[in-house]
Structure 1
């Protein structure tokens, strides 16, 4: 929710609690340093900064400095007025200006431009680049004057913004009752300047999502503030994800996780899924979903609370809606990852890892990459966290959902982390359960029909090492459906837990609809002689990298013999 210190003008929105700053370039665009420093927006930011525990207040010469005094002093320095330094210590003043600059740069700073003409589309990035150049020029001119000399080492950092959005209005068949959505622009193009470090007050997800009897769109019609729509391709589903500006961190994070639908995929199309993220109030202030049967749309709602600032809420609600849509279509949602391994002998094998959060799906993939030797030519990730099985006659094929991966920094090897650093969006990197979102594959690869050679349950709770094949579908289903794991603290759970089919995002909500699909899939796998087993990841036992590597080696040996 907006706090007392929140700034809202036509061209500027600042929420200090969420560390979000949004600049509307249609309302205000600066072309010169003097114009910037003279602006109402600059004064608003200075006023906000001076209310904090800032460095100026620690020195007697600057204590109780007003915004007008700050700006007057800044103008004199920019005008090369040397008399301003007569009674001031340059080094102290330089440190104070650096403090103010750092305060500003600690916000997620996003520029937004609305428009439909092709000229604007083509110059969108240039417009944002020029604004960053202007802010850098202002900072460098000011600090050089205070220092009394020009520096001879520069860091070309993002001064004005670290992300930019181009938004457009789209025509689509809005059902009766959804008319309030017509005023919300779609994100047409997004730009981030990686590595992008973002912070949220919350760093953990709690609970599961439950159904409600009232369509959340009725609440959305009463909402205030700016909203944006991210048109996402979640597997084969089209989702319109509406988020309040307070959740710009999560909204931008979507760009590295779900492919953005193009305008020709949005114009004239009703979505399969709609999510409202940041409603003023929901039932019990928790997250819910609703199935609009008349329009065949799954609708989700997430409240505007501190705890829902964690990106896991947005990701998992999107996947819950998608999975419920999949179940309705007779497809089986899989909480897992899939990799295609190309061997030097010409064989390729597709492996699906299965399990709940923290079981070791992504870690098993990474272990395979780390122990790969000359026997392996290539390893390609098909999906990292969620997919689905579709039955086609006697065969079962797999598809994914995300084009990116949302992974814990704690469990990411230094090689993988550094190789992807310049493409990543980092969330709370200094905290426990720190995450990074990195691009992995293309949407075309995600939604292709992939055959399955091996399906393994990620067992993180037993002390064994290696891999084990189930003798029959009854034994396999007992393990897969029970969904046992030792929770690692990525949610509010701890210790040994069980989740129906290891998937609290769809199957848990609709177990009766899911069970027949589970039975059919297992029967098809065993009838076809597909390897169904479990890999011992050790992550809930002693988190031994050596043990996980040994299990990965055992898996590769089996794959070579299939």
Structure 2
């Protein structure tokens, strides 16, 4: 892949093996820098006519000529003192500084990523990647400061160590042998093996909501997979215990690299194995589809998401992977749960496993967060097993819960106001300026997520009934409530108002209800046989989303249950 500046999608991807600026001269003299500068000048024609007139000398130069002239000027200014430089651009120092700032700000407004081949670099290690990326960050920052201080003719008094290079970088390698004949074409796509995120990472995707459904198809999407291997990467990851390969179009780099905060990155050795799940993200098939297929011959569940502006939202990538996981696990006898599951440890050493189930916006995670607040004096630790999707399976007659993700993808509006700031140093923020703004934050070690955890309480998160607190109900009542999957939709998807979804889970169970139905019966019978508390928790989010009194009362009663012997 060449160094690419995807201006249309506000994205830059740098191939460190093809071209890497080791000093200021190679940076300013590079073709990518000139192309970027030309873009800034073109943009200034619409956005800042004054600076456009300045850089073109009031139309004396064409955009192409202005690009060449200003590049040459910067290269000279980088070497000589400002009083040694003879240039028309120095006649207006105020506009010169404003234009340099605009170039720098335009660069930092892009989503910027770098990568290199681990197999093509001698003595490659994670320190190689980190150093190369950090050196680039330092070079760009020092170059900007050099020009700023020369034009001001004085040093700065305040320095901000911002992310001037990339938002994230990664290394890749090729897997030569195909895991199955039908998927040979995928072996041309490089596989990610190491990721470095510069957090907090703030991204601005065009879409902030998921629409439509994932539907089953009777044709393997690999047959209509259109791609250029120069523009595709593979992110290998673990979804629960399953191995999933996400092949993605590089125009969706921001979403794909964000997976590193949510799922466990597979090891170099695991990337050579046959995956259980495959996601094709940004398939250029002109179908505008989100479909899945079960390749029974190779026992692979495969999902395909067509290239389309709407799928820039991270939820498509995450939910397709979870849908494939849920389908695969149902066929192994495990029941997918759309909810939140935490292991609470009190100061006296007692522990309780709390599982809340419900569709998007029902108040699962919000109830857990509220419980942390009301129980801050008695709770020693909260171990997150899953925050969105997990499973219940039965071993020796006992129901156990496991998770799928090592992180959480959370709506900022649903959290206690201080929570995003508490965790922001490790987080990725998605469109924080828009409704349905989200953050992706690490939550638990992978080994804890895939370990069996005992369930002490199972409750359906009810946001549509004007009741308060926590109520124990019969297993049959709760089972029917769960199967109905009722909620007050709060705008996190395309739905509005009261809606119902089979088993509150449109990511697998709804698509294959005949497979899910007997699993529900078996699991709820096991919950009953093992004396698990089963009921409903009333979050009140469908009534008074801004007033969190309903959440407070629900959390208080939840804490009372946990403190009981």
Give me the TM-score of the superposition, normalised by structure 1: 0.95
Matches within 5 A, 1:158-177: 158-171=163-176, 173-177=178-182
The alignment covers a number of residue pairs equal to 550
Runs (4 or more) in structure 1 with deviation over 4 Å come to: 221-225
> Judging changes above 3 Å, is the alpha-carbon distance between structure 1 residues 484 and 513 closer, same or farther for their aligned structure 2 residues?
same
8 Å CA contact retained: 1:56, 1:62:
no
Aligned to 1:132: 137
Give runs of aligned pairs for residues 302-341 of structure 1, distance below 5 A: 302-341=305-344
Aligned to 1:36: 27
In 1: Cα distance, 2:162 partner to 2:390 partner = 38
Matched residues in 1 for 2:264 and 2:128: separation?
A: 23
| Aligned counterpart for 1:509 among listed residues 511, 528, 539 | 511
Counterpart pick for 1:374 among 374, 377, 398: 377
Deviation at 1:118, TM superposition (A): 6.4
Which residue in 2 is equivalent to 1:80?
A: 81
Return the alpha-carbon distance in structure 1 between the equivalents of residues 406 and 90 of structure 2.
Answer: 58
What is the match of residue 259 of structure 1? 264
Do the aligned residues in 2 keep the contact of 1:11 with 1:25 (CA within 8 Å)? no
Q: Distance in 1 between matches of 2:13 and 2:231?
A: 10
Q: What are the superposed Cα offsets for residues 394-428 of structure 1, whole Å, 9 maximum, x if unpaired?
A: 11101000000000111222332111111000110
User: 1:74-115, CA deviations, whole angstroms, 9 ceiling, x for partnerless residues?
Assistant: 223223343336862212221121111111111111111012
Q: Secondary structure at the match of 1:202?
A: coil
Q: Could you tell me how far apart the structure 2 residues matched to 1:281 and 1:430 are?
A: 32
Cα-to-partner distance string for 1:200-231 (whole Å, 9 max, x where unaligned):
11110012100112111122255464111111
| 2:238 is equivalent to residue 245 of structure 1 | no
Residues 44-67 of structure 1, C-alpha deviations (whole Å, 9 max, x = no match): 111112221466632443345521
The CA distance in 2 between the partners of 1:538 and 1:222, in whole Å, is 47
1:21 aligned residue: 12
- Secondary structure of 1:380's aligned partner: strand
Q: Secondary structure at the match of 1:414?
A: coil
User: 1:137-186 deviations in whole A, cap 9, x for unaligned?
Assistant: 21111111111212122111121212111111235552112111111111
Report the Cα distance in structure 1 between the residues aligned to 2:399 and 2:176, rounded to whole angstroms. Answer: 37
Q: How does 1:145-160 map to 2 (within 5 A)?
A: 145-160=150-165
Corresponding residue SS for 1:17: helix
How far, CA to CA, are the matches of 1:332 and 1:178 in structure 2? 29
Q: Which runs of 5 or more structure 1 residues have no equivalent in the other structure?
A: 1-9
Report the more deviating stretch, 210-219 or 115-124. 115-124
Pick which of 174-183 and 367-376 moved more.
Answer: 367-376
Separation in 1 of the partners of 2:312 and 2:146? 37
Question: How far apart are 1:459 and its partner, in Å?
Answer: 0.4
Q: Does 1:100 align with 2:103?
A: yes
1:58 is aligned to 50
- Write the distance in 2 (CA, Å) between the matches of 1:86 and 1:498: 64
Structure 1 229/138 Cα, relative in aligned 2: closer, same or farther at 3 Å? same
Do structure 1's residue 188 and structure 2's residue 168 form an aligned pair? no
User: Post-superposition shift, 1:558?
Assistant: 2.2
The 3-state SS of whatever aligns with 1:120 is coil
Q: Is 2:210 the partner of 1:205? A: yes
Q: Distance in 1 between matches of 2:516 and 2:455?
A: 20
Cα RMSD of the aligned pairs, angstroms, is 1.6
Give the superposition deviation at 1:38: 1.2
What is the distance in 2 between the residues matched to 1:404 and 1:171? Answer: 31
Deviations 1:420-448 (A, max 9, x none): 11100011011110100000001100000
Contact 1:402 1:446 in 2 (8 A): yes
Distance 2:137 2:90 in 1: 33
Residues 1:450 and 2:461 aligned together: no
- State which drifts further: 143-152 or 289-298: 143-152
Indicate conservation of the 8 Å contact 2:226/2:285, yes or no.
no
Secondary structure of the residue aligned to 2:366 is: helix
Say whether 1:11 aligns with 2:15.
Answer: no
Paired position in structure 1 for 2:537: 535
Q: Tell me the distance in 2 between the aligned counterparts of 1:242 and 1:93.
A: 44
Q: Report if aligned partners of 1:458, 1:535 keep a CA contact under 8 Å in 2.
A: yes
Match of 1:275 in 2: 279
* Aligned positions of 1:341-360 closer than 5 A: 341-360=344-363
In the other structure, the counterpart of 2:395 is 392
The match for 1:520 is: 522
Paired with 2:385 and 2:135, the residues of 1 have a C-alpha distance of 38
1:498 is aligned to 500
1:379 positional shift: 1.7
1:359-382 CA-to-partner distances (Å, cap 9, x unmatched) read 011101100111114332222211
Name the CA distance, whole Å, in 1 between partners of 2:413 and 2:348.
35
Q: Structure 1 349/171 Cα, relative in aligned 2: closer, same or farther at 3 Å?
A: farther
Moved more, 44-53 or 331-340: 44-53
Partners of 2:145 and 2:88 in 1: how far apart?
Answer: 18
